[in-house]
Amino acid sequence: MRFSPPGEFNDTFDTEYSARAPDPKERVRRLKFRSSRGILCLTETADDPSMWVHYAHNHTGFVVGFDGNAGFVL
């Protein structure tokens, strides 16, 4: 499993959360936030081509299954 930094996504707008142009201080804050986080990408189907193309190495890897109906404990 890998928690990818948003800066490594192929679509830079995947993690943008505001449409308005930020002031310079806000821009610095966003860049710091984005560089300190990792995001786990999941899909409901094991054979989703987008996941294999973007997140697997040469279409190789393995699938880990999670029960979406199971309870989640922190």
pLDDT per residue rounded down to tens, the chain (74 residues): 778 777 777 666 666 655 566 688 887 887 787 778 788 877 788 787 877 777 677 777 777 888 878 887 77
What's the structural domain count of the chain? 1
Q: Is position 27 within any domain?
A: yes
Strand partners, 57: 60
pTM of the full structure: 0.48
Q: What is the full DSSP assignment across 4-48?
A: B-GGGSS-GGGG---SSPPPHHHHHHHHHHHHT--B----SSTT-
Question: Would you say residue 45 lies in a domain?
Answer: yes
Q: What is the pLDDT of residue 35?
A: 78
Three-state DSSP state, 53: helix
Q: Give residue 39's domain range.
A: 6-55
